[in-house]
Every structure is written in structure tokens, then in C-alpha cells.
Amino acid sequence: MADLHLGHDHDHGHGHSHDEPLTEPPPDVALRVKALESLLVEKGLADTGAIDAIVDAYETKVGPRNGTAVVVKAWTDPAYREWLLKDSTRAIASMGYIPEQGEQMRVLENTGDTHNLVVCTLCSCYPWAVLGLPPVWYKSAPYRSQAVADPRGVLQQFGTELPEDVEVRVWDSTSEMRYLVLPQRPAGTDGWTDEQLAELVTRNSMIGVEKAQTPELAR
């Protein structure tokens, strides 16, 4: 079962098949950036490997670090978790993570009965303050349509298999409201330090396409 929570009116007719992979040719702006990058590399002013490493670090490490801190605090501090779920924007701001555009935040808790998945069907609204740069696939038309039409199929593409009795809720981000998934804390992590727990939290688990890593995978 999938439940879509819409944040704005829009048309899902993107003019492509819903079974496309979650990649697509970069849009015009991305092509211009790529052309500029190629020119800089050609003139010896930049190194492709170095650029890729910086972008990857910001997307997968530096960017999601704030969100990871929020998740770990929610896992280890019951009072904070309760506040976070009740008043997400203020609870997150208390840690110094304040959206620059004034948008509101809502944290969605995954449980044994419910799994949350975040998308922006209209464009690419994303919780920059806690997750940094959005991944390319999040902005792609295939993901934006498939997440609504076939959320379980999308999860499977990321290797996430859920029991049939788990409800999948799809949340549609807007310019006024952004979402952050609070993944379930993996079993077998009692007594772990914040640093150890942080290793289990990934950007994808805070978007909802994956679960938090298990202790076995994190080692």
C-alpha cells in the first residue's frame, strides 16, 4: 500500500515510461556546468578527479552530516525525538541547522509498520540545511514520477525490500515544506557511541530510499 502526501498541485504526466532507470541526460544547466568544467580541465586550471572527489564528498559526507547529527540525537535522546516529531523545524534549528529560505521542516519516522519516501514531483525541493546537495537521481524525472507511481519499485532499485504489510508513504516536498526521514535504529546497537551510530546513517536513508545500515555492513 502506498499513500501519497501532496504538498502542491501538479501534473504527473512527464511524458516518459515509469520503468525507466533513475538516470537521465543532464538538463541544460548541468550541460553548461560540464562544459565549463571541461574547459577548465583542458586549460590545466582544474583536475577532473579532484572536482569529482570534492562533489562526492559534499554530496555524501559533508552535506548529510547535519542530518546525521539530527538522526543520532533522536536515536539517543527520547525527549529530543519527541520534540523533533512534534515541532521539527524548531528542534532542528536548536542544533544550528536553519533553512536559508525559511521553509518548514517535517521529520517522518520510519517504524515497523510504516516506511516513508520523500520526493519532489514538481521540481527538486530538498532539505539543503540538513542534507546538503541533492543527488542527481533525486532531481531526475524518472525518480520524480516513479516514486509516486511505483514506490516499492523505486525502493527495490535501491536494494530496499519491504514486507507487504508495511505501508509506504510518499511525501511530496514543496518550496514551503521539506521532509527528512528518521530511519529506524538498527538492532544490536545498544551502548554504541554517537560516532558509531553516525556511521550507520546515510543520505539515502534520510530520503527514504534505503534503510540505515546494519552494524555488519558498517564494519
In a domain, 35, yes or no: no
Asked if residue 167 has pLDDT above 90, the reply is yes
Active site residue 140: no
Active site residue 145: no
In a domain, 51, yes or no: no
Listed range (50-54, 57-61, 86-90) with the worst mean pLDDT: 57-61
Place of cell 514486507: 163
pLDDT in the model for residue 50: 74
Asked if residue 183 has pLDDT above 70, the reply is yes
In a domain, 123, yes or no: yes
Q: Which uninterrupted H or E stretch holds 117?
A: strand 114-119
Number of domains in the chain: 1
pLDDT in the model for residue 25: 47
Q: Calculate mean pLDDT across residues 27-51.
A: 73
**Whole-structure pTM value:** 0.77
In a domain, 208, yes or no: yes
Query: Considering 17, 38, 124, 145, which one is annotated as catalytic?
Result: 124
Domain containing 177 equals: 2-9+17-24+65-218
pLDDT band at 219 (very low <50, low <70, confident <90, very high): low
CA distance 143 to 173: 13
pLDDT in the model for residue 41: 79
CATH number assigned to the domain comprising residue 155: 3.90.330.10
pLDDT in the model for residue 60: 63
CA distance 165 to 56: 36
Query: Considering 38, 88, 123, 175, which one is annotated as catalytic?
Result: 123
Query: Considering 120, 145, 173, 205, which one is annotated as catalytic?
Result: 120
pLDDT band at 73 (very low <50, low <70, confident <90, very high): very high
In a domain, 46, yes or no: no
Residues 2-23: pLDDT tens digits? 555 644 433 333 333 334 556 4
In a domain, 42, yes or no: no
In a domain, 200, yes or no: yes
CA distance 67 to 178: 13
Q: Calculate mean pLDDT across residues 80-107.
A: 94
Q: What number of other Cβ atoms are within 10 A of residue 198's Cβ?
A: 16
Active site residue 120: yes
Q: Where are the alpha helices (DSSP H) in the chain?
A: 28-42, 48-57, 65-76, 78-86, 88-93, 128-131, 136-139, 141-149, 151-157, 194-198, 203-207, 215-218
Query: Considering 88, 125, 140, 145, which one is annotated as catalytic?
Result: 125
Active site residue 17: no
Kindly report the average pLDDT of the chain as a whole number: 85
Asked if residue 1 has pLDDT above 50, the reply is no
